[in-house]
Amino acid sequence: MRLKFTLPLPPSINHQYRAHDGRRFLSPEAAKYKSSLEREFRRLYVKGLLKGAWAKNFEDKFLRLRYEFYFATPFRRDLDSGLKLAQDLVCGGLRVNDNRVVEIQMVKRVDKQNPRLVVLFEVLDEWDFEGEASLFYEEEVVDEHINLMDAVAPAPVRTEAVAVPALADVQGGNGNGHNGTKVTSLEELMRKFNWR
């Protein structure tokens, strides 16, 4: 099954959230976008244009999505800046868990007169997680393959117990190799012994 949706462009990621007291909230612009589309999906279900039975059929299926972002200008916005909000809305509107999405393609287009987002939603009966079965897969022909897998070393795993001296012992310089400088906080203790 394939469905196609045309939506207004979602706000860019820079306009989706606001922070207050250390917490993030949807901006008024993003909240309006979200509530308007949620209301429209509910209306489509009520009118029978979207069938509630589809959601049950999606439970054990996989999803392939293609996003075509039509921007007013080619370089004002990042291609993926509205992806997460749009995907949450489309999947939520269809009552599908977006963890069923196994493939995404995104394309940037320009339409000054009619900026929009077109989403092609395809339901797959099965998916080969180890293979190369993909609508978008092509044999890789590259000039050079640069492997960065070792660029970030994994955190070392400590298997032995580490003796932590008591704060009083550290402060007093009790002959265990400490120089007797006074440590007044855990942060200073961590700095002194180079703990991470």
Q: What is the pLDDT of residues 50-107, one digit of tens each?
A: 765 565 667 788 999 999 999 999 998 888 888 888 888 888 888 888 899 999 999 9
- How far CA 99 is from CA of 17, 91, 126, in Å, comes to 23, 10, 14
Decide yes or no: CATH 3.30.1450.10 for domain 2-124.
no
pTM above 0.75, yes or no: no
Query: Is residue 180 over pLDDT 90?
Result: no
Mean confidence (pLDDT) of the chain? 78
Domain boundaries, the chain: 2-124, 161-196
Identify which has the larger pLDDT, 61 or 108. 108
Would you say 8 and 116 are in contact if contact means Cβ atoms under 8 Å apart? yes
Would you say 62 and 100 are in contact if contact means Cβ atoms under 8 Å apart? yes
Distance separating alpha carbons of residues 93 and 41, to the nearest angstrom: 5
- How far CA 41 is from CA of 7, 111, 159, 194, in Å, comes to 11, 25, 53, 56
